[in-house]
Amino acid sequence: MKKALMLIIIMGLVLLGCSNSKETAKTEDGKTVVAFWHNLDGDNAETLDSIIKKFNKQSDSVKIKPSFQDNVQQQMRTVGSTNSAPTVFMGGDTAYYSQSSYITPIEEMIEADSEFDISDLNEAVVENHSLDGKLNAMPFNVFVPLLFYNVELFEEAGLDPDNPPETFSEVEKTAQTLTSKDVHGFAIPIDTSFIYNLFAIQDELVFNNDNGRTGADPTETLLNSTAGKDIYTWIDDMNKAGTFGNYGRTWSNTQLAFSSGELGMYLESSAVTGIWLDTLDFDFQTAPMPVPDGKEWTGVNQGGSQLWLSNQATDEEQTAGWEFIKYLVSPEVQSEWAASTGYVPVTPEAAEVSPLKEVYSEHEQFKEAYDALNNTEPTETTAGPSLGKVEVSEQIAQSFEDLIQGKNVEDVLNEAEEKINSILQE
């Protein structure tokens, strides 16, 4: 009986614990505790942790409590509008979070803060992360897609590693030359972002209504346009020629193929540059993503995550969270962050201070990402699609899968177009 009673008491306490009160959490020495959720793991998370430690040490009013969440968006969907939500969190889906009712737009914090000037941030980055001209979150770990290639395989195949392919047909030819019994010439991880980027580089929209960037939601996809057909045919040709490696949806499987020297070139996020420099036992280089023949390289979509501020936190916590966000985008921190990861600094000044300054002059691989970002013309095409409906992304990934299973381009695109339009018009 006593034990049963204990159990009931414990469970009661557990239930009570679930509903915490809405008071600002403080440490014993009076610092405001700010919960921070991020989705980074591996080496990049270690860099982030050391930055947070430094912040906690130098701040006498704020203490950051970081916690890793495998899928922040999934968690925020359930707890976003409750008081268990973290004060600051990292999220990538601008459209989704912007329309959620649980964030404080970062622009309001910027306006209220005389110390912080929005012009300190990279213009292209601000443009890309704004929706309807408003910046709702602070861009933090921005990456761009690049062409990564194995220098040794290039040399073995008699290719010039200083002269990487720039167009679709050059990639196709180079892939042919690189392909041997154990090596695939080229690969793209099955991920919708690369398809979107292949549209962006040639200044083409993927969806009508300006990719959903100017207020109205898209109602139709332009996947089945000439540009789309060119992209899918290009992939299909390489796939049929056996020069395209299919490593499935698990992105790390493509990376594994590259790091073991079984893949000559592939499209990849610049965020792995730091890790590759540390771990690969061969030389690699990066280059801008290829464009279709005769087209102008316009720019790329920026991937990555932004820092969001929760309006469920108390004002005191939000102010403390804002202090932390400002710290993370300061030139010194951005310099350190970009130098050890491969993300692109969101504050241009970061490239002028060490360690990033040295890294950029020593390693071309890093510089490519920075250039790609700065050469990007800010338009709706290079800003990339902004969709409320996540299902669309899955449909595009599936069309990509169908394509490399050998289905013909026309069928794949017609089918995908029909499915996506019916989702968009729902």
Partner 1 sequence: MKTKSNIGKEIKLFGMGLSYLLPTFLLLGVFLFYPIIKTIQFSLSDVLDGGVVDHFVGLKHYLALFSSASFLNSIKVSFIFVLYTVPITIILSLFLAVIANEKLKGTKFFQMIFSSQLGISGAASSAILLFFFHPTLGTINNMLGFFGIPSIGWLTSPDWALFSVALATVWMGLSLNFILLLGGLQNISVDLYESATVDGAGYWTRLFKITIPLLSPILFFVTIINFINAFQSFGQIHILTEGGPSEATNLIVYSIYRESFIYGNYGFASAQAVALFIITLVVTLIQFKAGEGRVHYQ
Residues that bind partner 1 (CB under 8 A): 1, 4, 7-8, 11, 15, 71, 74, 76-82, 100, 182, 184, 190, 245-250, 253, 256-257, 260, 262, 389-391, 394, 397-398, 401-402, 405
Structure tokens at 329: 């985008």
CB of 3 to partner 1, least distance (A): 9
Q: Which is nearer to partner 1, 56 or 69 (CB)?
A: 69
DSSP E strands in 105-182: the ranges are: 130-131, 134-135, 138-143, 145-150
CB of 404 to partner 1, least distance (A): 8
For residue 16, the number of C-alpha atoms closer than 13 Å in the C-beta half-sphere is 6
Q: Quote the CA–CA distance of 400 and 397 in Å, as a whole number.
A: 5
CB of 102 to partner 1, least distance (A): 8
Structure tokens at 196: 């979107």
CB of 228 to partner 1, least distance (A): 19
Q: Which is nearer to partner 1, 75 or 221 (CB)?
A: 75
Handedness of CA 275, 302, 140, 386 (dihedral sign): negative
Q: Which is nearer to partner 1, 81 or 167 (CB)?
A: 81
**Alpha carbon 135 to chain centroid, angstroms:** 17
Q: Which is nearer to partner 1, 142 or 178 (CB)?
A: 178
CB of 4 to partner 1, least distance (A): 5
Q: Which is nearer to partner 1, 12 or 215 (CB)?
A: 12
Q: Quote the CA–CA distance of 34 and 48 in Å, as a whole number.
A: 16
CB of 409 to partner 1, least distance (A): 16
Query: How many Cβ atoms from other residues are within 10 Å of residue 197's Cβ?
Result: 23
Q: Which is nearer to partner 1, 34 or 403 (CB)?
A: 403
Q: Which is nearer to partner 1, 215 or 242 (CB)?
A: 242
Q: Are 183 and 264 within 8 A, CB to CB?
A: yes
Query: How many Cβ atoms from other residues are within 10 Å of residue 423's Cβ?
Result: 16
- Phi, psi (rounded to 5 degrees) for 66: -80, 150
CB of 24 to partner 1, least distance (A): 22
Strands 303-310 and 103-104: antiparallel
